[in-house]
Structure 1
Amino acid sequence: MEPRQPPGSAASPDPAGDPAQGSGETGTRMPVEARRKAWRERLATLARQARALPARPDDIDVAVGSVGDREPTDAALLAALREAVLARLTGYGTPESALDAALEDLPGTSGEIALEVVSQCASLVAEAFSMPGLQADAFAFRATDAERRRRGERRAAARAARETREAEERRLKEWESSLVGADAVPSLLGCTRHEADRWIRAGIVPVARRVTVRRGGRTFQEPEFDPAALEALRGEVQGWRDAEQGRRPLQDETHQPARRISNAAVARIAGLDRYAAHFATARSLNRRIVACLGPTNSGKTYFGLSRLAEAESGIALGPLRLLAHEYREALEGRGIPTTLSTGEERILVPGSRHTAATVEMCPFRNPVDVAVIDEVQMLADPERGAAWTAAIMGVPARQVILLGAPDAAPMLQRIAALCGDPIEEVRLERMGPLAAAPAPVPLAEIGRGDAVIAFSRREVFALRAELLRRGRSVAVVYGALGPTVRRAEARRFRDGEAEVLVATDAIGMGLNIGPLRRVVFSALNKYDGKEDRPLTVQEIKQIGGRAGRFGGEHAEGTVAVLAGGGDPRQIARALKAAPEAPEDLRPPVAPDAEIVAAVAAEMGTDSLFGTLRRIERAVLRRDDPNYRLGDLSTQLAIAAAMDGVRELSLLDRWTYAMCPVDERDSGIERLTDWAVEHALGGTVAPPKAGRLPPADRAGQDALQLAERVHRRLVAWRWMALRFPETYRDAEGALAESRRLNEWIEAVLSASPSGRARAVSGGGEMPGRRRGQRRGGGGGPSSQGAPRRRGTAAGRDGRPPQ
């Protein structure tokens, strides 16, 4: 089949090049551009009105470019748009992939698409692939029937998930409503009040939960008890009395009869209050911890990798896939074969005894000589901190080298004490001076070697547009970019191809951007997903510290703020400030598959949502002196949807709950659809972006589509490593990821002339108004991968870099 050529492509000269435009005179070009703008607006309206025409903004641009008539009718415009859509659909390779994309691209759709529209889209795809009549009819029938079947399965799964969730919530509420206070314990046990109080204090009487009450202006934690559990213990009371009189030792709670639904039993089975003991291999080793702490540009990474390179075996763990690649390259550069392990890819090197990995991929059973864990201040991150706790406590290495900011020291000391490991601190100082600029920097003075830091993708492109307009060449780095593109943009800046780097706070860790003359914040406040707040001292130090490079072109670094973005004295104070320990020094912990399975078995449930809900409520007291529970909100949201896919085991559903998804892109709904297909024994094809416009003509819509599909591919490839029989086309997914990376990089590095200006954004300069909402910046806590709740998120997944 000959591929259909889009109108206005190289294969068909642009008919819109009328004499008025061909003269090259600005005065004669303007009417044509004005007419085309009006045509775009008309076509956008017509596309929304056409129920089954899956047109994208770049299709509209192609269609407008193909119109030769000075006064085209609506029918002529729609015909041109239809041809552009048909041409693009062939770029998906298969009719099935094209149909999936077409249904997603339908404009103005909310909720479920009518089956009639599905049939019409299938017929359009059949036409794009030049199917003969009977074959086209059969394709449309199969597509509609398959969609009807999928919808039935989705509805059944959603109904089952809702029923399960409601049943588990009802079960939990009924149990909680049955709990009694301390006053009821004597009658339930058949003992005196003094005995009951004494045994409660000794931990002999199991506390079901503790509730916060206020009396007389003070807050108390009062225990509540499970009547059924206490009734079962009546026969033990005489033994407790005998033990108090020295006849035999008291039994603690672990020797008492099983109480299948008490919080005490759930907490005991989960064992998160004894989390360090969960890592048997690490506890069996004579581990020694070395905490190498210092500011940015103090040589921490060199210290850690040098120790690792000298070891017979070892592992390097970091927060980003990009960093894992850099560790591997550094070790390979020293002649050390190194395996790579991240959430979405594996590079196995036969015979290697060293591994570079993301933190979430830490192995817990194979001992090594040295482990290096980077960016340990991430322990304080609300979403990913539990992964650092697990890695630091559980990595089976005889020497554990921890790299990070000095702020992390108190929490590291707490973890070492909980593990019973000796800890040595090595403090490093910055190797070059770092100073705060005395005055704000006008945008006109931004020049070669400067990095401008914004806090959203929109700000990045607005700044880029303004700098391009002023004649600067610009590289960009922001959270939605995959690691390959980030490195390519950093290389452009490092090699001098781009004078200025405009980035979100995603550059705060890891990325090798080379020597910076200056780090210039666009503003000294940011929207963090919850509120507009001032930058913290650690954020200013971590990001601003990228300025200057010891022994490099810019030995002395400068940190500044753009004019109108804040008071430079705030930067000066931050750079001089002493390290700030987190408010809560208890390391965050979270359940793993083993704990989830054990708790579910104890509860006698197959509900992942019910299991996680109980873990959230039961496994750690709020006043536990040693640990605090990490954030489980994303896993709970996915579990609530996944529980309806009952053909998948509880642990398979748990695996899905750990997948990095972007909820702003309907990530949980898409993941559930994949799970339904998995449960039915089908296969899940990797997402595709289809045909993309030439890089030098791409607008924001096309760029954001490519970034969105790339994030979906991250999730797909993560699943493919765990369920290869369902997610089979790993090579196709990798090829599409590479294609999108190359195209995105081509767009970002395109000449600022012509259509590339559309990518640069436009409009007023952002980031100057206090109180303005910002989002999606991809800062150090998210590091470019979508946070799971509104940004990945995530695990290595969240974020998987």
Structure 2
Amino acid sequence: MSALIRRVARQLPADAETIRTALLALRRRGWITRLNDLASRAGRLWARRADKETAAGTVAELAPADETLLAALEAVLAQRFRSLGPTPEAALEAVLAELTEAGQPALSADRHAQLAREVAVAFGLSGEDSLPFLDAVGAREARRRREQREAETAARSRKREEVARLRAWEKSLVEFRELPGLLGCQEREALRWIAAGLIPVARRIPQRGGRERWEFDPAELATLRRAVPQWRETDRAAVEAKRRGGPAAPALRLGKGAVAAIARVAALDRYAGHFATARALNRRITLVTGPTNSGKSHTALDALAAAETGMALAPLRLLAHEFRDALASRGVPASLSTGEERIPVAGARHLAATVEMCPFHLPVDVAVVDEAQMLADRDRGAAWTAAIMGAPARQVFVLGAPECATQVKRIAALCGDPVEEVSLRRKGPLVAARAPVGLGELGPGDAVVAFSRRDVLDLRAELVRRGRRVAVVYGALSPEVRRAEAARFREGDADILVATDAIGMGLNLPIRRVIFSTLRKFDGTERRELNTQEIKQIGGRAGRFGRFEEGVVAVLAGGGSPEFVKTMLEAAPLPPEDPRPLVQPDADIIANVAQEIGSDSLFGVLARIKRAVLRPDDPNYRLADLTQAMAVAGAIDGVAGLSLLQRWTYALCPVDERDNGVARLARWAIEHGAGRGVVPPNAGRLPAPERASRDELERAEKTHKRLVAWRWLALRFPAAYVAREEAHAETERLDRWIEDVLRQQRRAKLVA
């Protein structure tokens, strides 16, 4: 009653209809709750909150029965189904896709049949008229479930077999004390031959006091026993040569055996040799290091534009586009190649690409590899190792923060390439603010940095509530939306930018101050303090040269100590914890190891690579994390119709495990293997941007990310991923909608 009185009081003078309208508006909140309960009890997972809100809004009775509310919901659902496709088949697939993309569990057979009946009714099919449709979709769903069960069963079986084979191999290993008997030699000879690399250690198990227990493969030792006389003869020749002062005797090569053969065919310990084109060129590397806003790319891009042929490799699709634009501004046309798109330009002799798309067999005059500090990134560092080692150019410019110098020089030494280092200074000073900054003190040109999407949207909501115009940038946004939001800030349509550390790479913006909302972040493993490189890289976006005299780095009130920021800005570059570059297998390595071990199991091949190919103490390289690739392998190894290398391609697809990415890849792989087209993700009907909730925004962002994965696979498997125009159109629709949502500056619902 009190709420009704307040609502009517705002509309005085009021008549009976005004009071009735106000009472309906108040009661509809409770009806939405009732509808939510009724739909849940009926198992209608496809009834979204927006549907229930719309249904409640159509009810005109002051005290409707449950039947009345359900009838309103059914009418709304029927209208939505008809809007999702021209036929009941298309509408049903769209609803199922919506449920999948919303992270809902798969419908049971009964619920699937119930949904099919509701879709049929929405299209005017009832009774006998609906039977052909219901029979067809029922048979199709039964086939899908059967294929999925078969694939999962086969994958589990293959995984068990490979694990059992690995365990049997490990159980067969023998300790060092058994070596003399197996090889017919003395202990000191065995030690000498191990040190020379003639006897491979199959497994090294750390012990207390920094010691190791060495284990050896007896099957491999049996193949090496016949080489023992030659080794002894070589030893005697070496001793004699040393006594006479003559040239050393030639070293013996490692014989073929189980572990040795796998290591040899993978050759990850000789990774630089994989890049035959680069090794055939007389390459020179120019390492250009410097902080943000030091002009690292300017000289390299000038040299690239002046060359007859060249390539620019960037860490992000957005930055690949910027490289292409920078070349175009210098009068040089360039094609584009990223994980999800190809834009060839007729007659172009330059290429802008993401690092993972480096064409290793296309010789050019000049190559630029940007953001080389990514060598230390545990997820993508191996791509930078490959790009720097394998860029097939006579002149390679490597650009990065000062922290990358150690690893780049190490890579150059492994390649035998001369390296020249150019160290640049920042063009304008970067200083730490003396005091924390309150939200009320923020002004035009300020960028607030948070470390989660939620925090970014919370800060945006609070600033909008205070009447500020805000642009946002965070990782879940597409490059197109990030660019649009950056343009709003750059052109003055937004006073303040709120962003994650996504602005630390690319996006040259006129930022006056960078203000950290907190000086701690969760890095995927633990919550920790920001390190000096992070503060310099992100904070360095402040004070764009030519626009501001200096850049200021500050912390939001309550977010940490300004003195800590000052200390980090003044600290010397930190050397990498492990200077060895990360490496990972490619398709050739996968095929070679599979042939050597006689297995078609991707999981088995990756497990053997992880166990036997690169020693943990290899002096030059370290193996990249294969956890996600092995998870995908374990999920799709049982899919019929896909070759080993096709499954390896799926394992490389960029997906988010936290968003059911692996399970989604497995469903797509089953459709692909069966010779059917894979339907692209679809966000379905979207509310008007001014009515979008935060959940609906997140759902659209997730669908966009899934479209990125779909388009990535479409470039590699065009025969299975055929609806490329539809996927592109849906991507553009989501870009426009998300951009329109973020433009809304007077919203409460988005942040509810």
TM range (shorter): over 0.9
- What is the aligned partner in structure 1 of residue 542 from structure 2? 547
Residues 473-531 of structure 1: CA deviation (Å, up to 9, x unaligned): 1111111111111111111111111111111111111123x211111111110112221
User: What letter corresponds to residue 144 of structure 1 in structure 2?
Assistant: G
1:70 aligns with 2:51: no
Q: How far did 1:87 drift?
A: 2.2
Alignment pair present for 1:233 and 2:224: yes
Q: 1:14 — aligned with what?
A: none
Helix, strand or coil at the partner of 1:558? strand
Distance across 2 between alignment mates of 1:664 and 1:202: 45
Aligned counterparts of 2:577 and 2:748: Cα–Cα separation in 1: 46
Question: How many residues end up aligned between the 2 structures?
Answer: 731
**Structure 1 residues 44 and 364, CA gap change in structure 2 (3 angstroms):** same
More deviation, 74-83/716-725: 74-83
**Inter-partner Cα distance in structure 2 for 1:282 and 1:147:** 51
Q: Secondary structure at the match of 1:246?
A: helix
Task: Tell me if 1:314 matches 2:307.
Answer: no
Correspondence for 1:428: 424
Distance in 1 of aligned mates of 2:37 and 2:296:
57
Q: Deviations over 1:364-385 (max 9, x none)?
A: 0010011111110000000000
Give matches, 1:500-649, under 5 Å.
500-512=496-508, 514-552=509-547, 554-649=548-643
* Conserved 8 A contact 1:209-1:263: no
Counterpart CA distance in 2 for 1:685 and 1:644 is 21
Q: Matches of 1:290 and 1:467 in 2, distance apart?
A: 45
Q: Is the Cα contact below 8 Å between 2:231 and 2:252 reproduced in 1?
A: no
Aligned mates of 1:632, 1:527 — CA distance in 2 = 22
Q: What does residue 686 of structure 1 align with?
A: 680
Task: Tell me if 1:368 matches 2:364.
Answer: yes
Counterpart of 1:521 in structure 2: which amino acid? F
- The answer to whether 1:102 aligns with 2:98 is no
Instruction: Considering fraction of residues, name the structure with more helix.
Output: 2
Which one-letter code corresponds to 2:531 in the other structure? T
Distance change in 2, residues 1:97/1:499 (3 Å):
farther
The one-letter code of the counterpart of 1:505 is: D
Specify which of 212, 219, 225 is matched with residue 221 of structure 1: 212
Matched, 1:276 2:272: yes
Is the Cα contact below 8 Å between 1:609 and 1:636 reproduced in 2?
yes
Partner in structure 1 of residue 243 of structure 2: none
Paired residue for 1:206? 200
89-98 vs 314-323, which moves further: 89-98
- Tell which deviates more after alignment, 518-527 or 238-247: 238-247
Shift of residue 101 of structure 1? 4.0
CA distance in 1, matches of 2:732, 2:37: 34
What's 1:60 paired with? 52
Structure 1 residues 129, 481: CA separation in 2 closer, same or farther (over 3 Å shift)? farther
- Match of 2:78? 86
CA contact under 8 A between 2:98 and 2:684: conserved in structure 1? no
CA distance in 1, matches of 2:347, 2:447: 42
- Paired amino acid for 1:642: I
- In 2 relative to 1, CA 249–144 (structure 1 residues): closer, same or farther, beyond 3 Å? farther
Q: Is the 8 A contact 2:103 2:660 kept in 1?
A: no
Counterpart mapping for 1:186-205 below 5 A: 186-205=180-199
Contact 1:696 1:751 in 2 (8 A): no
Change (3 A) 1:527 1:700: same
Taking the aligned partners of 1:556 and 1:130, their CA distance within structure 2 comes to 68
CA–CA distance in 2 between the matches of 1:623 and 1:659?
A: 29
The residue type equivalent to 2:195 in the other structure is R
Equivalent-residue separation in structure 1 for 2:280 and 2:219 (angstroms): 39
State whether residues 97 and 682 of structure 2, in contact with CA within 8 Å, keep that contact through their aligned partners in structure 1. no
CA deviations on 1:447-491 (whole Å, 9 max, x unpaired) are 211111111111111111111110011111111111111111111
Q: What amino acid sits opposite 2:562 in the alignment?
A: P
Closer, same or farther: CA 661–384 of 1 in aligned 2, 3 Å: same
Aligned to 1:162: 156
> Secondary structure, in 3 states, of the residue corresponding to 1:398?
strand
Q: Any idea what SS the aligned residue of 1:701 has?
A: helix
Question: Counterpart of 2:165 in 1: which secondary structure?
Answer: helix
Matched, 1:352 2:351: no
Structure 2 counterpart of 1:474: 470
Contact 2:581 2:621 in 1 (8 A): yes
What letter is aligned with 1:663? E
Matched, 1:488 2:497: no
Matches of 2:372 and 2:116 in 1, distance apart?
Answer: 51
Measured in 2, the distance between the counterparts of 1:165 and 1:112 equals: 24
Q: Comparing 339-348 with 53-62, which one deviates more in the overlay?
A: 53-62
Q: Is the contact between residue 345 and residue 721 of structure 1 (CA under 8 Å) also seen in structure 2?
A: yes
User: By how many angstroms is 1:20 displaced?
Assistant: 5.6
Separation of aligned partners in 2, 1:93 and 1:110 = 21
- In structure 1, list runs of 5 or more residues that go unmatched: 1-18, 763-801
Report the AA paired with residue 91 of structure 2. Answer: A
Deviation at 1:30, TM superposition (A): 7.1
Query: What are structure 2's unaligned runs of at least 5 residues?
Result: 1-6, 239-247
Contact 2:283/2:394 (CA < 8 Å) preserved in 1?
Answer: yes
Instruction: Report the counterpart of residue 252 of structure 2 in structure 1.
Output: 252
**Counterpart Cα distance in 2 of 1:748 and 1:728:** 32
Alpha-carbon distance between aligned partners in 1 of 2:123 and 2:505, rounded to the nearest angstrom:
47
Match of 1:773 in 2: none
CA distance in 2, matches of 1:105, 1:362: 35
CA positional deviation for 1:751: 4.0
The residue type equivalent to 1:449 in the other structure is: G
Distance 1:751 1:233 in 2: 74
How far has the Cα of 1:180 moved from its partner?
0.7
How far residue 145 of structure 1 moved from its aligned partner, in angstroms, is: 1.3
The more displaced of 585-594 and 520-529 is 520-529
Question: Structure 1 193/634 Cα, relative in aligned 2: closer, same or farther at 3 Å?
Answer: same
Counterpart code for 2:294: S
> Could you tell me the TM-score, scaled by structure 1's length?
0.88
* Aligned CA distance change for structure 1 residues 436 and 135 (closer, same or farther; 3 Å): farther
Q: Structure 1 residue 185 and structure 2 residue 176: aligned?
A: no
Give the SS at the match of 1:82.
Answer: helix
* 2:541 partner letter: R
Provide the C-alpha distance between the structure 2 equivalents of 1:63 and 1:365, rounded to a whole number of angstroms.
Answer: 60
Q: 2:445 aligns with which of 443, 446, 449?
A: 449
Query: Quick one: which amino acid aligns to residue 252 of structure 2?
Result: D
* TM-score computed with the length of structure 2 as normaliser: 0.93
User: Is the CA contact (8 Å cut-off) linking 2:85 and 2:94 kept in structure 1?
Assistant: no
Q: CA RMSD in A?
A: 2.2
Question: For residues 666 and 101 of structure 1, what CA distance do their matches in structure 2 show?
Answer: 18
Matches within 5 A, 1:125-164: 125-131=119-125, 134=128, 136-164=130-158
1:483 maps to a residue whose letter is P
Q: Residues of 1 paired with 2:42 and 2:214: CA distance?
A: 63
Matched, 1:706 2:700: yes
Could you tell me how far apart the structure 2 residues matched to 1:516 and 1:111 are? 44
Once residues 517 and 31 of structure 1 are traced to their aligned partners in structure 2, the CA distance between those partners, rounded to angstroms, is 50
Distance in 1 between residues matched to 2:217 and 2:665, nearest whole Å:
38
Q: Find the aligned partners of 2:497 and 2:11 in 1 and give their Cα distance.
A: 38
> How far apart, CA to CA, are the structure 1 residues paired with 2:129 and 2:283?
67
Give the aligned residue type for 2:635: A
| Residue type of the alignment partner of 1:252 | L
CA distance 1:400–1:77, change in 2 (3 Å): same
Contact persistence 1:53–1:121 (CA under 8 A)? no
Distance 2:156 2:384 in 1: 34
Q: CA shift at 1:441, angstroms?
A: 0.8
Q: Which sits farther off after the overlay, 328-337 or 286-295?
A: 328-337
What's the secondary structure of 1:476's corresponding residue?
Answer: strand
User: What are the Cα deviations for residues 687-706 of structure 1, in whole angstroms up to 9, with x where unaligned?
Assistant: 11111111111111221111
Change (3 A) 1:113 1:241: same
8 Å CA contact retained: 2:470, 2:745: no
Structure 1 residues 700 and 385: CA distance shift in structure 2, 3 A: same
Q: Which amino acid aligns with 1:281?
A: T
Letter in 2 for 1:636: M
Change in CA separation of 1:443 and 1:757 when aligned onto 2, cut-off 3 Å: same
